[in-house]
Structure 1
Amino acid sequence: MNKQTPIFVIARIGYIAKGLVYFMVGLLTMQTAIGMGGETSDATDAFREFINQPFGSVLLIGIIAGLIAHAIWRMVQAIKDPENRGSSGKVKFMRAIDFIVGCIYISMSYAAWQILQGLNTPDGDETTEVWVERILELPFGSWLIMIAAGLLLIGGLYQFYSSWYATFESSFSEKSMNEKEMGILRWLGRIGVAAWGLVYCMMAFLFYRASVTFDAEEAGGLSEALSSLRDQPYGIWVLGITAGGLMVYGIYLFVLSYYHKVFDEGFDASS
């Protein structure tokens, strides 16, 4: 296969849509951090912002298509491993994560579709609280939430590790980039991935708090995690830096949609 095949077109559209969503989340949150009003945001809030723009319905339809495209791409990564990451236990685990992420983006596209239809759509925090409440009602439910908090913390620490060592650059197409372009994309990735590290760690703290208090309202998704960052010492600065990092992450995804190595090198679909 080559970069002109349908799956690669789908993958590129997906990266662009994902980048646009998280750039908007960062932008809305930045407005909160610098005192321009509003609250911290998540993907659902970004969808609502898109629909309020000129030609918003057309824009949101494009976003929905892009999120579905990204979901398909992540599932292809899980099943076919187009990046040839190998067959180690770590890689198998990452491929399982890819499949789960694909399912998450299908869910996000459905939420965007509901907003397009004018339906009342719960935001990420509300959805998270509902699921945490259901889990807390189970035997050993608080321990399950504690485990989820631990996994989120591990995810956050891994984001910092990935940011420091730029492990994500294995996805870059070296033959399509010069050293300067590689350096710029590497730093975009480092900043964006580090911002996600902060978000994941704060989400871990929220889940931990929910587990020890048996209160689902203590948990939360992206928006609540960002809001909690604001409540910390020097919180406005931390929130502003994180919001900027999410915007940079969106830009990183835009650029990666062109410079991802697999789009140039292809892979054998029959493998």
Structure 2
Amino acid sequence: MAVAARAGFAARGLIYVLVAVIALQIAFGGDGGGSQADRGGALGQLARQPFGAAMLWVVGIALAGMAVWRLSEAVFGAAGPDGSKLSRRASALYRFAFYCFVSYSVLAYAAGDRGSGSGASDRNTDDVTARVLEWPGGQWILGLAGVAVVVAGVWIAVRAIRRTFREHLRMHAMSARTRAVVEAVGVTGGTARGVVFVAAGVFALIAAVQHQPGKARGMDDTLRAFRDLPAGPWLLALVALGLAAFGVFSWCNARWRKL
């Protein structure tokens, strides 16, 4: 189970680093090589590398391993004194479902379904938002979802800034210099990830208030929105570097996570 979890963290880190590379290209006037700055764009970049097809299968299987590990946490409890708390088990169950979806989308992409992997995150977001707004009370549902995403983003950023991730890592197994690096990428990466969540949640709220599905944005459009702000290219570059830091932090979890 430990091997499955560590492989999953390594695969997650790779995806975040590739998204960050695309976002950096977009920040300074490029089009990201024709790729979107989201998971699907990252998979497309990976597929174009030597042995890319094999690497896609490895990433998909590794993420499936992450899902299985999260399920084991939900059933048997996680590492640590509070690992058996109901809240921790519920969180693990949600993450199990999430990584099942992600793993399936990556494996489908590897098998040739190029519509998988959330490759068109912005179009998918528009479609889902439009359907929700057609429901009775759809504006309220979408608005509440937007608020939930904003709250999740703030929670992610605050936990990163407070360095709560240290309780999940074998900090004693690191040298002083390594600990400093791990804490730096953990804080930077978690904060950047939280900022992206908050921005996406705000766009969902705007879509709900204005009853316009096109106002909601997937990850790619959310990142591009940073570029349109004053000093936008540099701001997007900063966010991209933060996402890259989260990718590196995922690799640190692959090495030092308590399991």
Specify whether residues 126 and 107 from structure 1 end up closer, same or farther in structure 2 by C-alpha distance, changes over 3 A only. farther
Q: What TM-score, normalized by structure 1, do the two folds share?
A: 0.87
Aligned-partner Cα distance in 2 for 1:152–1:85: 28
1:125-164 residue CA offsets vs partner (Å, 9 max, x unmatched): 2222222222111111111111111111111111221122
Aligned-partner Cα distance in 2 for 1:230–1:92: 41
Instruction: Note if contact 2:189-2:243 (Cα within 8 Å) is conserved in structure 1.
Output: yes
Q: Secondary structure at the match of 2:6?
A: helix
Specify whether residues 138 and 240 from structure 1 end up closer, same or farther in structure 2 by C-alpha distance, changes over 3 A only. same
What is the CA distance between 1:22 and its match in structure 2? 0.7
Specify whether residues 94 and 230 from structure 1 end up closer, same or farther in structure 2 by C-alpha distance, changes over 3 A only. farther
Q: Structure 1 counterpart of 2:64, which letter?
A: I
What is the CA distance between 1:260 and its match in structure 2? 1.0
Count of aligned positions? 254
Specify whether residues 81 and 153 from structure 1 end up closer, same or farther in structure 2 by C-alpha distance, changes over 3 A only. same
Aligned residue number for residue 213 of structure 1: 210
Aligned residue number for residue 177 of structure 1: 174
1:57-206 matches, within 5 Å, as 57-86=53-82, 92-121=86-115, 122-206=119-203
Aligned-partner Cα distance in 2 for 1:19–1:208: 29
What is the CA distance between 1:12 and its match in structure 2? 0.6
Structure 1 gaps, min length 5 = 1-6, 263-271
Instruction: Note if contact 2:74-2:90 (Cα within 8 Å) is conserved in structure 1.
Output: yes
Aligned-partner Cα distance in 1 for 2:87–2:130: 28
Aligned-partner Cα distance in 2 for 1:93–1:214: 34
1:89-119 residue CA offsets vs partner (Å, 9 max, x unmatched): xx53343233222222222222222322332
1:231-250 matches, within 5 Å, as 231-250=228-247
1:245-264 matches, within 5 Å, as 245-262=242-259
Aligned-partner Cα distance in 1 for 2:249–2:137: 41
Q: Secondary structure at the match of 1:253?
A: helix
Q: Structure 1 counterpart of 2:257, which letter?
A: H
- Report the aligned-residue RMSD: 1.8
Aligned residue number for residue 7 of structure 2: 13
Aligned-partner Cα distance in 2 for 1:251–1:147: 32
Percentage identity across aligned positions? Answer: 26
1:46-57 matches, within 5 Å, as 46-57=42-53
1:210-249 residue CA offsets vs partner (Å, 9 max, x unmatched): 1012122211222121112222222211110010111111
Instruction: Note if contact 2:67-2:96 (Cα within 8 Å) is conserved in structure 1.
Output: yes
Aligned residue number for residue 17 of structure 2: 23
Instruction: Note if contact 1:13-1:66 (Cα within 8 Å) is conserved in structure 2.
Output: yes
Q: Which runs of 4+ in 1 moved over 6 A?
A: none
What is the CA distance between 1:40 and its match in structure 2? 4.7
What is the CA distance between 1:27 and its match in structure 2? 0.9
Aligned-partner Cα distance in 2 for 1:98–1:224: 29
Aligned-partner Cα distance in 1 for 2:179–2:77: 23
